[in-house]
Amino acid sequence: MTGATTSTGIPGVVCITGMHRSGTSLLAGLLEQCGLDLGDPEALLPPGQDNPRGYWEHRAIKELDDELLGRLGGTWDQPPVLDDGWATAPGLDDLRQRASETLGSVFGSTGRRRIVGFKDPRASLLLPFWQTVAPITATVAVIRDPREVARSLEARNALPPPQSALLWLRYLAAAIHDAPNLLLVTHRSLFDDLDPTLRTICRHLALAEPSAATLAGAARLVDPSLRHHSAPTGHEARDNPLVALAHLVFGDGDVDLHRLDPLLVDAIRRGWLRPPPDTLLLDHARARMVQMEATMRARRRRAMARAAAASESSSASSTVAVDERSAVDSDPASTTVR
């Protein structure tokens, strides 16, 4: 196939993406209410503790994206370097074919609805690959305050804030550079201005104007109690250069990568800028190793104590047997007459 676009039989696909913990699942559920065809509901990931309302994410697409990142040498939270042109490499043709088959399986006949789409935060990084599989007609990326994202990832994945901040910047820069027909939507607007936000997104995706009943149904999906991890204030918000960069770009919702030098943005987008190793994580790893070594030493001491006790018991038994034999040998009444 040599990196050529694969024919899926699907005229076009829209993509919902954005940094992890930014509200992409919520937006996917809302757009499904508005008529976006997300494919077979039975193939969606089940709800989880961190997303009790559901991920609205197809397992096969998510797993393929994880495999693609792994093939390229990374993961969603440690993305690989992705220089321009990576997506058309012939070495990815087998995954390209699987992706084509996956889309065909997920959506089947496109006659059910006019607009089909999928959601995956990883697509922020991997859209160039998916564009070699099917036409991506429009993209919506959800943008959440990077400080809130950092707090959420710290709670769920124990990621340090500098790593989360750089991931936030990387996902954003990649989406803005690679996503066709991109609309940025803030996480905050899904809670504070839902109706006009959904109308704007529907127009962008060529979906029908949502009716009052549709908007009311969508509003029932928005649960303010699930809006955790508010942004810190003061020095805590900018106590690291990477955190400060993400905060500068976010601009209280007025997102603008042009606030950074273009060379810096390009280095972030391609994955050439990385945070230093987190000393806290290293300290935790060292502490676990010390604890494991202490546990092993304690086990060895207990094993040695049991062995010593068994040896003493065996020695004591042997001594008793020898004493008994000596007593028998010295007893005249027990002498055998031959």
Specify the 3-state DSSP secondary structure of 303.
helix
Local confidence pLDDT in tens for the 338 residues of the chain: 445 455 566 778 999 999 999 999 999 999 999 999 998 888 887 777 766 676 788 899 999 999 999 999 999 999 999 999 999 999 999 999 999 999 988 887 555 557 899 999 999 999 999 999 999 999 999 999 999 999 999 988 889 999 999 999 999 999 999 998 999 999 999 999 999 999 999 999 999 999 999 999 999 988 776 666 556 555 555 578 999 999 999 998 999 999 999 999 999 999 999 877 665 556 666 677 777 888 888 888 898 888 888 888 776 666 555 455 554 454 444 333 33
pLDDT at 69: 96
Q: Are 22 and 187 in contact (CB under 8 A)?
A: yes
pLDDT at 167: 97
What does residue 21 show for φ and ψ, rounded to 5 degrees?
65, 30
The C-alpha atoms of residue 160 and residue 164 are separated, in whole angstroms, by 6
* Residue 23 zone, left/alpha/beta (φ > 0; ψ -120 to 50; rest): left
pLDDT at 284: 61
In the chain, % helix, strand, coil (3-state, to 5) comes to: 60, 10, 35
pLDDT at 334: 39
Q: Which token pair is 284?
A: 């935790």
The C-alpha atoms of residue 229 and residue 147 are separated, in whole angstroms, by 9
Q: Which token pair is 306?
A: 């049991």
Does pTM top 0.85 for this prediction? no
Q: Which helix (H) or strand (E) holds 294?
A: helix 279-330
Cβ neighbour number for residue 292 with a 10 Å cutoff: 10
pLDDT at 332: 43
Residue 139: name the closest of 153, 150, 124, 129 by CA.
Answer: 124
Cα→Cα distances 288→154, 282, 301, Å: 19, 10, 20
The packing angle between helices 123-130 and 59-71, to 10°, is 90
CB contact burial 181-195 (16+ within 10 A = b; e otherwise): ebebbbbbbbbeebe
